[in-house]
Amino acid sequence: MNDEMKSFEGLEQRLDARKTDYDAIPVPDAGAYQAVQAGIRQATRKRKSRLRWYMSSISAAAIILVFTGCIRVSPAFASFVEQLPGMEGIVSMIRQDKGLMMAIDQSLLQKVGVTDEHDEASMTVDSIITDESRMVIFYTMKGMKDLDKGEYDIDLLDRDGKKLPVAFSYSSPKPASENGVYEDKIDVSFVESLPPQELTVVFKERGKEAAKKWKVTFPVDRSLTKGMKKVIPVNQTMTVDGQRIHVKQAVLHPTRLVLDIEYDRNNTKKIFGIRDLHLVDEQGRAWRTDSSSISGSGSSVFFESMYFSTPKKLTLQGSGLAALDKDELVISIDPSSGEIQGGPSSLKFLKSTVQGKDLVIEFSIANSQDATSGLSFTNIEDSKGKQLDIKEIGWSPSVSEARVVIKNGAAAKGNLTMEIFSYPDQSRAPFSIEIPVTP
């Protein structure tokens, strides 16, 4: 047995002893988690916590199994482990998502370790964790320039080279060290398909004719979570701010819980989201929402998974709605004068400017400083019936102002007709309903 193996065994014994000490420490309530984050279908870039592998002659998988069992027990123990060399990235990743943490503790993390390297730069897919609903891909990049400026894109391809019909989010990665190493993760949502048996991740430069690409292809073991989906019928209706919302079912996966809800077609308002939505178990622990897939009639709301820690009781709680009267959804605006016809009274025109071929319109929205969603439009056309698209949207909740960039809008004729797709109008209407736990 070499010295490194002896050192690891000694460390494992010390951790086991420390775990016993920390078992008695209570886990504090995580009730501060808030907000339904709409729009995962638009593949927004969010900053994600990072996974860092600690590599030695001992496999990274073995290290994870040792540590995650302890981290799940106590945040204080997690702080201790975080100080160990090479472990802070792992602790940072699993601390923010209780469901992923427990899934990794159940040996569901798949080691990949495949690299594509050229031009003195490389991309490595380190590992994945997946089930029928979600996949999280952890990757490392080395030797690439200006990664933190977001000048790169990611594609996910099947074995035939076609883009996967999935929604996914990722961020401009941040340095993991001072020597040009970057780490991050891609969060994939399977809306209409299952995980592929073989996946290719393509990392490419953005906006360049001779863009460089890095491609990594690897198999996906779907057997690890086969048959683990649990469908829990709910079939309850709640009324929030006069609007009826049908809670249809909860689908529990190892990586997340998906709550399917439907908005009553006779509602007087279009609901853009539900404010401060979370699940609370019998211990007072809050299981937070991760993101939502919203359609015109309802949404699938994604929560942290309690698959491996089934509560005795769950309560769905929220504080109100982001919604707008249906007869206020369509506006007509003259970009020159700023005159608005229709729409909510809180929506005000600030100014419009031409930016190359694009048209930029800025709005203000009264009393929206605390909103969790911004302003967006769909179905845009000019007076000649020409269809236009949104190129970019900006929202500044601190000053309640929105900036909408309409692609090729500089050549638009006459008034623009625009349908509101999301709006930061918030109602205060607390609610609570019980969710059955036993499927």
- Look at residue 51 in the predicted model and tell me its pLDDT: 29
Over the stretch 65-113, which tens digit does the pLDDT of each residue have?
333 334 343 455 445 445 544 445 555 655 678 888 888 888 898 989 9
| pLDDT tens per residue, range 349-380 | 999 999 999 999 999 998 877 776 788 999 99
What are the φ and ψ backbone dihedral angles of 419, each rounded to 5 degrees?
-105, 130
Measure the CA–CA gap between 187 and 37, rounded to whole angstroms.
Answer: 14
Task: Give the mean pLDDT of 124-144.
Answer: 90
Please indicate, yes or no, whether residues 251 and 292 belong to a single structural domain of this protein: yes
Residues 281 and 343 in one domain: no
Query: Which range among 6-10, 97-101, 209-213, 362-366 shows the weakest confidence by mean pLDDT?
Result: 6-10
Which segment of 15-29, 187-201, 236-250, 302-316 scores lowest on mean pLDDT?
15-29
Are the CB atoms for 264 and 270 separated by under 8 Å? no
Instruction: Identify the pLDDT of residue 89.
Output: 55
pLDDT at 331: 97
In a domain, 61, yes or no: no
Total structural domains in the chain? 3
CATH number of the domain that 153 lies in? 2.60.40.1230
Predicted pLDDT at 372: 65
**pLDDT at residue 251 tops 80:** yes
Percent of the chain clearing pLDDT 90 (strictly above) = 46
HEC per residue, 151-186: CEEEEEECCCCCECCCEEECCCCEECCCCCEEEEEE
pLDDT at 91: 56
Please tell me the predicted confidence (pLDDT) of residue 180. Answer: 77
Is 38 among the domain residues? no
Question: Is the residue at 373 inside a domain?
Answer: yes
Asked whether residue 24 is domain-assigned, the answer is no
423-433: pLDDT as tens digits: 887 788 899 99
Q: Are residues 294 and 270 in the same domain?
A: yes
- Looking at every residue in the chain, the average pLDDT score rounds to 78
Most confident of 38-52, 54-68, 85-99, 312-326: 312-326
- Is the pLDDT at 61 greater than 50, yes or no? no
- pLDDT, position 42: 34
Domain at 403, CATH number: 2.40.10
Residue 5 belongs to a domain:
no
349 and 401 share a domain? yes
Same domain, 154 and 208: yes
Q: Report if residue 281 sits inside a domain.
A: yes
Secondary structure of residue 10 in the 3-state scheme: helix
Between CA 329 and CA 344 the distance in angstroms is 8
- For residue 154, is it within any domain? yes
Helix or strand holding residue 99 (H, E): helix 98-105
User: Could you give the percent of the chain with pLDDT greater than 70?
Assistant: 73
The CATH number covering residue 293 comes to 2.60.40.1640
pLDDT score, position 106: 85
- What is the signed CA dihedral for 92, 41, 383, 393, rounded to 10 degrees? 0
Tell me the residue range of the domain where 393 lies: 326-422
- Check residue 137 and give its pLDDT: 92
Q: How far, in Å, CA of 330 to CA of 345, rounded? A: 12
Highest mean predicted confidence (pLDDT) among 168-177, 235-244, 268-277, 388-397: 235-244
Domain stop point among 164, 193, 225: 225
Q: How confident is the model at residue 185, as a pLDDT?
A: 87
Does one domain contain both 291 and 196? no
pLDDT tops 90 at residue 57: no
In-domain check, residue 14: no
Distance CA 329, CA 1 (A): 71
